Structure 1
Amino acid sequence: MEHVLRSWAIASRLGDHVGVAREERGALYYVATLAWVGCVADTPEVAAWFDDDIAFRADSYQVDFSGLPMLGFMLRHVGTGGPAIRRLRLAGRLVATGGSGIQRGLMSHCLTTAQMAERLGLGPEVSGPLQQMFTRWDGRGVPDDVGGDQIALSMRLFHLADTVEVHHRENGTDAAIAVARARQGTHFDPAVVDAFCAHADEVLGDLSAVDDWSHLVAGEPGLQRRLTERELDTALEAMADFTDLRSPSRAGHSRGVAALVAQAAADTGLAPADVVLVRRAALLHDIGLHAVPATILDADGALTDTESERLRMHTYYTERMLARPPELARIGAIASMAQERCDGSGHHRGLSGPAIPVTGRLLAAGCAFRTLTEAREQRAPMTARDAAVELRAEVRAGRLDADAVDAVIAAAGQGRGKRRSGPAGLTPREIEVLRLLARGASTREVARRLGITSKTAETHIERIYAKTGATTRSTVTLFAMKNGLLDNFEPLEP
């Protein structure tokens, strides 16, 4: 955990000793934090040779990735976990081809990462170095015609920081210095290594404080730009697309779910802010799949219990990855509910009934529908009509919410027509008022929060009580909870 963040801290501190200006440290941050994002592009190639791509990359920090050491490492990991005959066959192909397929995968990694930077609106000072992720000072990396001072300083700093962070964390400062010296002039820039070794105690000191991510970012002037709402959507769409690259069968899945649930939410009568929230949550609901090996995602047969558990944990990782900054936490809370079920049989929390907000219910139904209509390794895609039948069977079994399924099926062009009101016929504005009431707001507070007159607020409250059949604040609050309407995860402002 926090490897990349600590790597950036090491590179940033080291940059102070090799002439990196303070205003350039923002670019260094993005180079360090995005450098490994492109692994989604080379994952199919890595998994084809070495099975568990995550374990392969973790182990690779222990070897200088060039020449005979690299070949020996690959031969030890090729076909990991498979039958001996398969491992021998793969090893023969690896030697015969010289690993050319892996090299192509690494180039794809670099180009993909650079494209991610461009989509996030970052400049050439970020996208350029990212294309040099697998270069080496001695010119024996990928591409093999780039080396020495041709490699951007930010990437030379990251190359060292990325490696020494692992060795320092596992075995201390002496081990970090030893690996830097061992790869000086081959993998690492000699001048960067000299600067690191001369100031290792300072550069590596108190890395435990690095876990305070928000504090570190707040202290960097180059990282203070705030996204507009449109820019945020663009960034989340980029994250969705790159997440779906991890598994070929899931290409376009996240965007498809987002479009479906956004339409369903609007047709259901949710407030515009909730429509935006559930769309953004849908874009990110699978981001936790980055923690699951590709061999599990693309398995063409039944998973073992251990593999199934690793797959089930991806919703936990989704929430964990989106827990900060706070602006993403609310999105993450909904995104992590994609696999929850009304009868408590889902994961990762096992929520049931009223504990699942309406946005979570819509996301679960939308994800299920979209998944059924996509091809997977072990099955052909269903038609939209057959998927609708399957979802209604899930409703009868108590696993999916009936209203959410109806809305998703209608949004997909199947079944019932559009319903433009919420539970009990509540309008989007009445749902907003109901949420405030349930959280203890008075009529005057409702008016202030929504920018309406007290008289208008009183009228909304009267209609809410009439439509829901409630007679007290407690009973109207129970109605809101039962129908999953209290999903804003925000306390009432004073």
Structure 2
Amino acid sequence: MGERDGGVSLAALLGAFSLATDLGLGQPMEHVLRSWWIASRLGERVGLDDSERADFYYTAVLSWVGCVADAPEVSAWFGDDIAFRADSFGVDFAGLPAMAFMVRHAGAGGSAWQRLRLATTLVATGATDVEHGLASHCVSTAMMADRLGLSAGVRDGLRQFFCRWDGSGVPDGVGGDRIARSMRLFHLADVVEVFHRTAGVDAAVEVARARRGSKFDPVIVDVFCAAAPEVLAGLTDDLDLGGLVADDPLLATPLADDRLDEALEVVADFTDLRSTFRAGHSRGVARLAGDAASGAGLPDGDVLAVRRAGLLHDVGLHGVPGSILDKPGPLTPTESERVRAHSYYTERTLARLPGLSRAAEIASLAHERLDGSGYHRGLTGAALPMTGRVLAAADAFQAMIEPRAHRPALSVKEATAALRREVGAGRLAADAVDAVLSATGVAPPRRRSGPAGLTPREVEVLVLIARGALTKQVARELGITQKTAGTHIERIYAKTGISTRSGAALVAVQHGLIGASG
């Protein structure tokens, strides 16, 4: 592959990924792109020049990506993280209003006792854990920008997503002109888009004025309010935002094939962060499905498409709350339907990428079954191509050998037997399952040293904390004292430069410590 044109630009890929991010915010698809468009129009009025335009686009479409990384933590505090974020647009999120908002949402969906306990803890601690989560969001997003090869300006701007003009945001004290202009523009546009879409121009102007000098840059607010009807007039339902990106010479350069695959891996890694149990899942599925497709004798083009589909097949999970994905007990019928809808969201998100149409089509088939019991279309038999059958079998096997909130990981032997039972029940195809099981091979030998000089024991600890284990759980799992476990964690953080669960997950996935079959 190498330098061959992959047919997809980085801007288009991230624009499509932003549609999935919208789902995680509880907003309609294109919220982030519409916010970028508003901010761009304002940028023209405050002197944003062409040299800044590309960086500004990437800052905008990646700004909310970090909400994926802290979804499990937000869910632990507030239940449905998507509902929490959707409601948060109506609050100037600082001081007493923010605390009151968090207390009202604490433990949502739980018992009265759980809600009281979490609300009391929030007040007693000053919501320091939530503040740490906001910082984690920004660090994770900046990590994504770095892996995608974006500029230092983009990375620095993304680190300021939760800053406020008055300096009361995260990190504390960073405000005013110290906040990148691109982020100040997006701060306003992100909120204004919601109010304009739901209540019109007057409501958009009103919220801008209400947060002038606290969240928003007063100069940008004044420019917006003076020209709001004109700025927002073009924001119609038929505005082709994807076309605007495709036609922009600064954004339209296609990625070479190898760079496209690297970018798809980044998207996959961040998608999997939505659940503490799924880190590395998409990479594992992609590797296994690609090997199985090759072993089954499929053409090279199909093998590539299946592997890419494995990386993308769970993008729609951004529309499923973390409280459902990590629920330890049975799902209710309503919760099950939200999970089943995620393959539809995957299809909708990837439809924006003609250059990945083959992979997108296969990705949407990951949860279909031969007997029609799968989702989201309920396809049967001959309607499922071999590519989709292989992906479905690979996804099922990979999920089985990974832990989930409601069960421990199955052994390879147990997963093999379970896959065979699915064949016997008529849900998975025998030839696809045979190809997947042939591709699993023998488990690789335990690595003797890890990334950043981690010892074998530290690698074990890294994998556990990447899966969401706390210090006491690490100690129990490895049969060591809690103090020893804490020392290992401190050394891991010092060696790798990370300090959060999501950061640990990204390091583990990048270095192949999780996500591999076998």
Q: Are the counterparts in 2 of residues 214 and 325 from structure 1 also a CA contact under 8 Å?
A: no
In the alignment, is residue 111 of structure 1 matched against residue 121 of structure 2? Answer: no
Partner of 2:370: 342
Pick from 162, 167, 184 the counterpart of residue 212 of structure 2.
Answer: 184
- Which whole-Å deviations, capped at 9, do the CAs of 1:415-457 have from their partners, x for residues lacking one? xxxxxxxxxxxxxxxxxxxxxxxxxxxxxxxxxxxxxxxxxxx
Q: Are the counterparts in 2 of residues 61 and 166 from structure 1 also a CA contact under 8 Å?
A: yes
Separation in 2 of the partners of 1:381 and 1:209? 46
Give the aligned residue type for 2:293. Answer: A
CA apart distance, 1:211: 4.3
Q: Are the counterparts in 2 of residues 26 and 220 from structure 1 also a CA contact under 8 Å?
A: no
Pick from 39, 54, 71 the counterpart of residue 67 of structure 2.
Answer: 39
Separation in 1 of the partners of 2:33 and 2:238? 7
Separation in 1 of the partners of 2:73 and 2:239? 33
**What does residue range 248-263 of structure 1 map to in structure 2 within 5 Å?**
248-263=276-291
Tell me the SS of whatever aligns to 1:400: coil
Partner of 1:144: 172
Separation in 1 of the partners of 2:112 and 2:371? 44
CA apart distance, 1:258: 0.8
CA apart distance, 1:220: 2.4
Tell me the SS of whatever aligns to 2:205: helix
Separation in 1 of the partners of 2:418 and 2:272? 24
Q: Are the counterparts in 2 of residues 137 and 186 from structure 1 also a CA contact under 8 Å?
A: yes
Tell me the SS of whatever aligns to 1:199: helix
Pick from 87, 110, 116 the counterpart of residue 82 of structure 1.
Answer: 110
Unaligned runs of 5+ in 1: 415-494
Structure 1 stretch displaced more, 79-88 or 340-349: 79-88
Tell me the SS of whatever aligns to 1:221: coil
Separation in 2 of the partners of 1:331 and 1:91? 45
Tell me the SS of whatever aligns to 1:399: coil
- Which whole-Å deviations, capped at 9, do the CAs of 1:203-234 have from their partners, x for residues lacking one? 11121256413321134232122100001000
Partner of 2:268: 240
In the alignment, is residue 12 of structure 1 matched against residue 40 of structure 2? Answer: yes
Partner of 2:398: 370
Pick from 433, 439, 444 the counterpart of residue 405 of structure 1.
Answer: 433
CA apart distance, 1:321: 0.7
Tell me the SS of whatever aligns to 1:96: helix
**What does residue range 87-106 of structure 1 map to in structure 2 within 5 Å?**
87-106=115-134
Unaligned runs of 5+ in 2: 1-27, 443-518
Identity %, equivalent residues? 61
Pick from 235, 250, 268 the counterpart of residue 222 of structure 1.
Answer: 250
CA apart distance, 1:330: 2.3
Tell me the SS of whatever aligns to 1:248: coil
Q: Are the counterparts in 2 of residues 25 and 220 from structure 1 also a CA contact under 8 Å?
A: no
- Which whole-Å deviations, capped at 9, do the CAs of 1:140-185 have from their partners, x for residues lacking one? 0000121000000000000000001101111111111111111111
Q: Are the counterparts in 2 of residues 26 and 221 from structure 1 also a CA contact under 8 Å?
A: no
Partner of 1:470: none
Separation in 2 of the partners of 1:220 and 1:265? 37
Q: Are the counterparts in 2 of residues 78 and 91 from structure 1 also a CA contact under 8 Å?
A: yes
In the alignment, is residue 21 of structure 1 matched against residue 49 of structure 2? Answer: yes
Partner of 1:486: none
**What does residue range 51-90 of structure 1 map to in structure 2 within 5 Å?**
51-90=79-118
Separation in 2 of the partners of 1:48 and 1:297? 12
Partner of 1:304: 332
Separation in 2 of the partners of 1:316 and 1:329? 15
CA apart distance, 1:332: 1.4
Partner of 1:317: 345
Tell me the SS of whatever aligns to 2:70: helix
Q: Are the counterparts in 2 of residues 237 and 283 from structure 1 also a CA contact under 8 Å?
A: yes
- Following superposition, which runs of at least 4 residues in structure 1 exceed 3 angstroms of deviation? none
In the alignment, is residue 157 of structure 1 matched against residue 170 of structure 2? Answer: no
Separation in 1 of the partners of 2:103 and 2:237? 39
**1:83–1:209: structure 2 CA closer, same or farther, 3 Å change rule?**
closer
Q: Are the counterparts in 1 of residues 36 and 61 from structure 2 also a CA contact under 8 Å?
A: yes
Tell me the SS of whatever aligns to 1:324: coil
TM-score (norm 1): 0.82
Q: Are the counterparts in 1 of residues 139 and 159 from structure 2 also a CA contact under 8 Å?
A: yes
Separation in 1 of the partners of 2:151 and 2:305? 29
> RMSD across aligned C-alpha pairs, in angstroms?
1.1
CA apart distance, 1:292: 0.2
Partner of 1:491: none
CA apart distance, 1:343: 0.9
CA apart distance, 1:277: 0.5
Separation in 1 of the partners of 2:373 and 2:165? 53
Q: Are the counterparts in 2 of residues 278 and 359 from structure 1 also a CA contact under 8 Å?
A: yes
Q: Are the counterparts in 1 of residues 34 and 241 from structure 2 also a CA contact under 8 Å?
A: no
Give the aligned residue type for 2:358. Answer: R
Separation in 2 of the partners of 1:211 and 1:142? 34
